[in-house]
């Protein structure tokens, strides 16, 4: 369930703060592939990518974090322990506030 929301967050932050980040072009390419059209504008392609990931998550009935017992009270602890290997490969540095927002959205 985190993939769609993490992708949305990364795209939103890069569009706002790092518009030249090469990861945006990669997200655009994947969105165009999913859309089946190479002439889709970059923003539209990225919107379609997030839409597709969100649709798949709902179709697959992926559980949210709350389904695993995660609550609002757990967010600070999760944020504090979120700086592992996977964060090193994230295309943009996420603040603790960004991570907390992501977790909150996925509850």
| pLDDT tens digit sequence for 37-64 | 888 899 999 999 999 999 999 999 999 9
pLDDT for the residue 97:
96
Q: Is the pTM higher than 0.75?
A: yes
How many Å apart are CA 10 and CA 14, to the nearest integer? 6
Handedness of CA 68, 70, 71, 72 (dihedral sign): negative
Structure tokens at 29: 């390419």
pLDDT beneath 70: ranges in the chain: none
């Amino acid at each position: 369930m985190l993939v769609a929301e993490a992708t949305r967050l990364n795209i939103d932050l890069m569009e706002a703060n790092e518009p030249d980040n090469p990861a945006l072009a990669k997200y655009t390419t994947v969105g165009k592939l999913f859309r089946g059209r190479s002439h889709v504008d970059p923003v539209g392609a990225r919107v379609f990518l997030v839409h597709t990931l969100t649709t798949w998550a709902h179709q697959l009935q992926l559980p949210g974090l709350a389904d695993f017992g995660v609550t609002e009270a757990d967010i600070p602890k999760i944020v504090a322990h979120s700086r592992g290997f996977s964060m090193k490969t994230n295309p943009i540095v996420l603040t603790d506030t960004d991570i907390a927002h992501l977790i909150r959205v996925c509850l």
